[in-house]
Structure 1
Amino acid sequence: MRLIRLFPDDSKFRFVRWRVLSYPFSAAISVMTIVLFVTMGLNFGIDFTGGTLIEIQAKTGKADPGVVRALAQSFEVGDVEVQEIGSAGDISVRFRTQPGGEAAQSALVQRARAAFEKDYNIRRVETVGPRVSGELVQSGTLGVVLAIFAVMAYLWFRFELQFAIGAIIGTMHDIVLTLGFFVITREEFNMTSIAAILTIVGYSLNETVVVFDRTRELLRKYKNLPTPELLDLSINSTMSRTVMTATTTALSLLALVLFGGQAIQGFANVMLFGVVICTYSAIFVSSPMLIYLGVKTSARAAADDKAEAAAKAAAISRRPA
C-alpha cells in the first residue's frame, strides 16, 4: 500500500527567491496592522474592560437585537453593547462597570434577569470588577513578553544568535498579524485570546525550529553550497512534515470552528488563522532572514574571510609611503 504524499519528497522549489515579494507583503500588512491597532484598537472583552456580560437565547428561536438593545438601554446604566452571536436566537448584552461596587453590579444583574427571563433563557452571566480586569491586563501582557524572552534565550542556547534572531523575527511577525486579525474581524479579545497567542507562539517556533535544525545539519554536509540554495534544500526536505502538520492541525481546528460551539469558537478561529500565518512565516520570512543575518557554510565563510583579508592587504599596499 502506497503512502499518501501531500508534498513530493524530491521537490526542488526555490522558496527563498520569493522573499522579494513576501518581505514587502509582510511589511505592508504589519504596518497596516499597527496603524489600525492605534486608530481602532482591540475589541476588549469583559475580562479586560470590567463590567457584566449576559448571554441570552430567545425562547421562540428568534431574537431582535434592536428590541433587546432598547430594553437594556431603558435601565439607564450607561453604554450598553448588544451583539448577535452564533445562531439568530443568541444575543450577548454587555454593561459597563457600575459605580457602587459589587452591590451595584449585583443589582444590575438581578434587574436584567427580571427583564429578560420572560422571553429569553439566561445562558451565561459574568461579572468582572475594574481592579480584576486591570490585573488581568498586566498578567496577560507580562506572560506574552516573558514567553518571548524565554524562547529567545532557549534558541540562542540551542542554535546560534543568528538563528535565534531569525526565529524571533518570524514569531513577532506572527503575533503582529494575529493582532491584525483581532482588529479587522473585531473578534473579542479576552483571556482566551492570550492563550491563543501563546499557543501560536509555540506553533510558530515549532515550525521554524524544524527548518532551522535541518539547515544547521546541511551547513555541515554541504560546505560549498550557496546559502540561498542550502535554505531551499532545508525547506524542501522538511516540507512534507510541514504540510502534514499544518493540514492535520487545520482540519482539527476547522471541526472546532464548525461544531465546537460558541464557547470555543473564538479560540478556534484565531488558531486556524495562526496555523496559516505560522506556516507562511516559517517558509517565507524566518528562513530567508538567515541570508541577511550572515549565516554561511564554513567553506563559504572562510572564502569570504580570505577575500576580505586580501582586499585589506591590497588597500594597505596602495597607501602612499
Structure 2
Amino acid sequence: MEFFKYTRPFNFMGKSKFAAVISIVLILASYALLATKGLNYGVDFAGGTIVQVKYDTTAPIDEMRKKLEGNEVFANASITEFGSPDEVVIRLKTTTGSVTTDIGDLTREALKGTGNYEVRRVDIVGPKVGNELREKGIMAMLLAIAGILIYVAFRFEWRFAVASIFALIHDVSIALGAVSLSGIDVNLDVLAALLTLLGYSLNDTIIVFDRIREGIETSKKTVLAEIINESVTRTLARTTLTSLTTFFVVLTLFLFGGEIIHPFAFTLLVGIIVGTYSSIFVASPVLMWFGFSVQNYHEKLAQKAKREAEKNRMREQFESGVM
C-alpha cells in the first residue's frame, strides 16, 4: 500500500552538502560535550548504590537530606524525585564495605521520623563490576560494528560497507551527545538502546542500499546521483511510515513508561530521528564521495554473468559427455 505518490524523484543528493554541514556540526558538538561534560555513568557502570523509597504523601526531600547528612554511610548522597513527588531515589557513589550490612536497614534507620514510607528497591554494584560492565559494553558495540562491516561488504560492495559504518558512527555519536547534554544516567538500559539503534539504523540503510543496487542494475541512467535520488524516493513512503510508527511507540514509552525506562526511551527517540536522516543524507552520499562507478559496476556484473554462462556451458558438455 502506497500512501505517498510521486511523479518525479526528489533531489536528495542536491542537498547532500548542506546535510553534510549539519551532520559535521552535530558530531563536533557531540564530541565537545563528551570531552567537556562527559557521560553521567549510572550505578551499572560507575558502581555504587541506589535506594528507592516511596512515601504515602509527598516525599520530604529537605528533611531527608538533613537526616542523611548525619550518617557517614550516606555522605555526598544525592536525593531526587523518581517519577512522582511521593517517590525518591537515593544515589550513593560508594557501596557498604561489609556483605553483612543491609543498606535497606540503614536507610530505614536513617529516615526515621520523616513519615510513612517503604524501601522498594536496593541496587548495589561494586566499582570493579561497574568497570567490567563498561568495558564489555564498549566491546559489544565494537563487535557489532565490525560484524555489520563484514556483512554489508559481503552482501553489497566495500563502498557500501564504508558508507553504512559512516552512518552508524554518525548516529551513535549524535545519540551520545544528546545523552551527555540531557545528563541522564548511562546504564545498561542506555547501552541496550544504542545497540538497538545500530540495528534500526542498519535496517533502514540496507533497505535504501537494496533499492539503490536494484536501480543501478535496471536503470539506463549512468549518473549515480540520479539513481540514488530515484531509489531513495521510491523508499520514502516505507521509510516515513516505519519511522513514524516506531517514533510514536517510543514516544509513548518516554512519556508514560515511567522513570525507569526514561533513559532507554530518550536514547531511542534521538536514534530514530538521526537514523532515518542518516540513511538518506549520510550513507547514500558517501557512495558518491568514495567514487562508486555505475559503469564499473555494470562491467563487473557482465563479467560475472559471463563466468556463470561459461560454467553452465562446461557443465552441460560434461553431462552430455562432450568435452
Task: Work out the CA distance in 2 between the residues paired with 1:247 and 1:183.
Answer: 25
Aligned with residue 116 of structure 1, among 92, 97, 111: 111
- 1:138-167 Cα offsets, whole Å, 9 max, x none, are 111111111110110111101100000000
2:169 equivalent to 1:175: no
Task: Work out the CA distance in 1 between the residues paired with 2:202 and 2:271.
Answer: 12
| TM-score in terms of structure 2 length | 0.86
Task: Work out the CA distance in 1 between the residues paired with 2:274 and 2:8.
Answer: 22
- Aligned residue for 1:16? 13
Contact 2:160–2:287 (CA under 8 A) maintained in structure 1 = yes
Task: Work out the CA distance in 2 between the residues paired with 1:48 and 1:152.
Answer: 27
Please tell me the residue identity of whatever aligns with 1:146: L
- Aligned residue for 1:32? 29
- 1:197-219 Cα offsets, whole Å, 9 max, x none, are 00000000001110011111111
Contact 1:224–1:300 (CA under 8 A) maintained in structure 2 = no
Please tell me the residue identity of whatever aligns with 1:38: A
- For 1:135-214, list aligned pairs within 5 A: 135-214=132-211
Task: Work out the CA distance in 2 between the residues paired with 1:300 and 1:129.
Answer: 55
Partner SS state of residue 51, structure 2: strand
Displacement after TM superposition at 1:247 (Å): 1.1
Contact 1:223–1:299 (CA under 8 A) maintained in structure 2 = no
- Shifted more, 21-30 versus 204-213: the winner is 21-30
Task: Work out the CA distance in 1 between the residues paired with 2:50 and 2:56.
Answer: 19
Task: Work out the CA distance in 1 between the residues paired with 2:222 and 2:258.
Answer: 51
Change (3 A) 1:54 1:300: closer
- 1:228-272 Cα offsets, whole Å, 9 max, x none, are 111111110001110111011112112212222222222112112
Please tell me the residue identity of whatever aligns with 1:113: R
- Shifted more, 114-123 versus 147-156: the winner is 114-123
Aligned with residue 68 of structure 2, among 51, 72, 76: 72
- 1:56-99 Cα offsets, whole Å, 9 max, x none, are 22211x12433333322221233212222212222211112246
Partner SS state of residue 79, structure 2: strand
Aligned with residue 242 of structure 1, among 220, 239, 247: 239
Count the aligned residue pairs.
296
| TM-score in terms of structure 1 length | 0.86
Task: Work out the CA distance in 2 between the residues paired with 1:246 and 1:32.
Answer: 25
2:280 equivalent to 1:267: no
Aligned with residue 257 of structure 1, among 230, 254, 257: 254
Unpaired stretches in structure 2, ≥5 consecutive residues: 300-323
Task: Work out the CA distance in 2 between the residues paired with 1:282 and 1:297.
Answer: 20
Partner SS state of residue 48, structure 1: helix
Unpaired stretches in structure 1, ≥5 consecutive residues: 303-321
Aligned-CA RMSD value: 2.0
Contact 1:219–1:296 (CA under 8 A) maintained in structure 2 = no
- Aligned residue for 2:310? none
2:222 equivalent to 1:225: yes
Task: Work out the CA distance in 2 between the residues paired with 1:288 and 1:17.
Answer: 10
Task: Work out the CA distance in 1 between the residues paired with 2:97 and 2:184.
Answer: 30
